[in-house]
């Protein structure tokens, strides 16, 4: 499974370890569905302008989980998520939607308006279509299989669609036949359980039309997944199994869908993950956690190992243990080698001290933690590369020195020369002052020190 990331306004993909599998090179992308993912690039041709923004025409294709492009980019086309090996797509020139397969071949011509196919996909061989305000279903040959009789209709799942005529909701099968029940059914079946409602209380029936879980709940979150479901009694949520037995007591105030054996829970002001035994996977630390269950988005999720979470006001992919795997979006600070070359062409002043901790910076308030943070970050990099003297190692090991600075006797000769040339430039270029003003910010890998150092070693005479 691959996961989209954004680097400098381009999208690429990582694996569950956070390793970049496809370099960021696409202008847009979606999530994987039906084992493929649509990717899109902008063309130079302007499509339209809106609110002062210019929107360009695009070209799209799909990739598989290995990152292979499955057919040439199709000009003026954007592709929705795939299901049952086909996808609706939009032709920007025709302003109509059609259906293509995984080879990029047209299955149904571009004849549909957006309102006719919005949020539709093929499931159980049928796709929902809206005409003249009513819903019906077509097959992949664009033949009407179920007439346009319904005021509302869901996409098919497990052989059923939830439809509505006036105020009455009921299930139909792929032949349009009604699932007859005395219960007020409000969902299709998931793991042989459908939600039913009676006087603002919720229960479940099975496909034999038996009430298997009584009307006990004030709300149901999601559907049955991995033989469990989240439900609410009063003001608290708990976890039940397929028989209605409470597996985890009703004690949570806010939860999200089950997926990958866990579900997000808010405890106090922070979120964590709870497994199906009721065990907390880690202490609550995230501002928000999306669930691993992407069924509603028609995205593959059963083998997904990562989900999105917000930590220190930034979006990350995390695993079920709460480990930060990768930032989702970053703007990398580019190294301008022409400027480095120009610096090396000049004589650098030999300094005895390059910087030291201070409690204010250009009028900004800086905490003690923020003031000393960059210096230990720099010392750690030079220590790992064996470029510190004994004095430098001693300074690095003293983690509570509020008067920490970067002194010449801390660094070996090559490292000191490097700092003479590049420290001030690097500090400004990488916006290091931001990390002093806001000590909660996280350094991005090595902040390009490694690239500066390699350039210095290769070009300094």
pLDDT of residue 66: 85
Give the SS3 label for residue 293. coil
> Is 301's pLDDT higher than 80?
no
Cα gap 183→409, rounded to integer Å:
81
Q: Which of 107, 89, 87 is nearest to 97 (CA)?
A: 89
pLDDT of residue 363: 39
Q: Which of 336, 337, 389, 379 is nearest to 354 (CA)?
A: 379
Model pLDDT for residues 146-156, shown as the tens digit of each residue: 999 999 999 99
The residues, any chain, with a CB within 8 Å of residue 262's CB and separated by 6 or more, are 273, 274, 275, 276, 281, 292, 320
Question: Across residues 46-66, what is the average pLDDT?
Answer: 87
Helices (H), 364-448: 368-384, 390-397, 413-429, 433-437
Model pLDDT for residues 216-234, shown as the tens digit of each residue: 999 999 899 999 999 999 9
Cα gap 353→395, rounded to integer Å:
14
Cα gap 193→106, rounded to integer Å:
37
pLDDT of residue 338: 84
Phi-psi region of 213 (alpha: psi -120 to 50; beta: other; left: phi over 0): beta
3-state helix, strand, coil in the chain (%, to 5): 15, 45, 40
Q: Which of 374, 380, 384, 343 is nearest to 443 (CA)?
A: 374
Model pLDDT for residues 383-421, shown as the tens digit of each residue: 999 999 999 999 999 987 878 899 999 999 999 999 999
Q: Which H or E element spans position 455?
A: helix 449-459
Q: Which of 265, 234, 330 is nearest to 6 (CA)?
A: 330
The residues, any chain, with a CB within 8 Å of residue 252's CB and separated by 6 or more, are 236, 237, 238, 265, 266, 267, 274
Q: Which of 146, 224, 132 is nearest to 178 (CA)?
A: 146
Secondary structure of 78-120 as H, E, C letters:
EECCCECCEEEEEECCCCEEEEEECCCCEEEEEEECHHHHCCC
Side-chain half-sphere CA neighbours of 158 within 13 A:
13
pLDDT of residue 211: 97
Cα gap 182→188, rounded to integer Å:
15
> Is 3 exposed, middle or buried, given 0-12, 13-18 or 19+ CB atoms closer than 10 A?
buried
Cα gap 412→63, rounded to integer Å:
49
pLDDT of residue 433: 73
| pLDDT band for position 440 (cuts 50, 70, 90) | low
What is the CB neighbour count within 10 angstroms for residue 106? 12
* β partners of residue 89: 79, 98
**Among 31-40, 114-123, 285-294, 439-448, which is the least confidently predicted range?**
439-448
Is the pLDDT higher at 65 or at 58? 58
Question: Across residues 420-425, what is the average pLDDT?
Answer: 92
> Is 131 exposed, middle or buried, given 0-12, 13-18 or 19+ CB atoms closer than 10 A?
middle
> Are the C-beta atoms of 265 and 232 separated by less than 8 Å?
no
Question: Across residues 355-378, what is the average pLDDT?
Answer: 67
Give the SS3 label for residue 343. helix
pLDDT of residue 159: 94
Cα gap 155→136, rounded to integer Å:
10
Phi, psi of 454 (to 5 degrees): -60, -40
> Measuring CA to CA, how many Å separate 378 from each of 141, 184, 297, 359?
64, 65, 43, 18
Question: Across residues 328-344, what is the average pLDDT?
Answer: 80
Per the prediction, the chain carries an average pLDDT of 90
> Are the C-beta atoms of 63 and 104 separated by less than 8 Å?
no
């Amino acid at each position: 499974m691959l996961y989209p990331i954004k680097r400098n306004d381009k999208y690429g993909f990582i694996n569950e370890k956070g390793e970049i599998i496809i370099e960021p090179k696409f202008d847009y992308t979606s999530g994987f569905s039906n084992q493929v993912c649509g990717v899109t690039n902008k063309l130079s041709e302007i499509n339209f302008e809106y609110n002062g923004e210019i929107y360009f025409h695009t070209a799209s294709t799909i990739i598989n989980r290995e990152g292979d492009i499955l057919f040439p980019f199709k000009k003026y086309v954007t592709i929705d998520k795939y299901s049952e090996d086909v996808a609706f797509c939009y032709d920007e020139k025709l302003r109509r939607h059609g259906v293509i397969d995984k080879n990029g071949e047209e299955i149904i011509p571009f004849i549909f308006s957006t309102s006719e196919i919005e949020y539709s996909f093929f499931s159980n061989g049928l796709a929902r279509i809206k005409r003249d305000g009513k819903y019906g279903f077509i097959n992949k040959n664009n033949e009407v299989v179920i007439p346009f009789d319904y005021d509302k209709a869901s996409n098919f799942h497990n052989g059923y669609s939830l439809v509505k005529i006036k105020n009455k909701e009921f299930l139909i099968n792929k032949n349009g036949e009604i699932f007859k029940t005395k219960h007020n059914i409000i969902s299709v079946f998931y793991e042989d359980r459908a939600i039913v409602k009676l006087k603002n209380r919720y229960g479940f029936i099975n496909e034999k039309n038996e009430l298997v879980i009584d009307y006990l709940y004030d709300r149901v979150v999601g559907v049955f997944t991995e033989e469990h479901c989240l439900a609410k009694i009063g003001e608290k949520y708990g976890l039940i199994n397929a028989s209605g037995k409470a597996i985890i007591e009703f004690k949570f105030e806010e939860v999200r869908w089950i997926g990958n054996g866990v579900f997000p829970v808010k405890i106090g002001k922070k979120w964590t993950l709870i497994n199906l035994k009721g065990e907390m996977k880690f202490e609550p630390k995230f501002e928000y956690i999306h669930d691993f269950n992407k069924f509603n988005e028609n995205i593959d999720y059963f083998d997904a190992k990562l989900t999105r979470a917000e930590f220190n006001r930034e979006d990350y992919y995390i695993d079920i243990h709460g480990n930060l795997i990768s930032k989702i979006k970053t703007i990398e600070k580019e190294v301008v080698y022409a400027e480095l070359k120009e610096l090396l062409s000049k004589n650098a002043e030999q300094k005895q001290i390059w910087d030291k901790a201070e409690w204010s910076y250009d009028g900004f308030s800086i905490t003690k933690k923020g003031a000393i943070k960059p210096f230990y970050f720099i010392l750690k990099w030079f220590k790992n590369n064996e470029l510190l003297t004994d004095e430098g190692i001693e300074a690095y090991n003293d983690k509570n020195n509020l008067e920490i600075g970067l002194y010449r006797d801390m660094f070996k000769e090559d490292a000191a020369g490097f700092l003479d040339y590049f420290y001030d430039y690097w500090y400004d270029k990488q916006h290091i002052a931001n990390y002093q003003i806001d000590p909660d910010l996280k350094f991005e890998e090595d902040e390009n020190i490694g690239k500066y150092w390699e350039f210095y070693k290769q070009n300094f005479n």
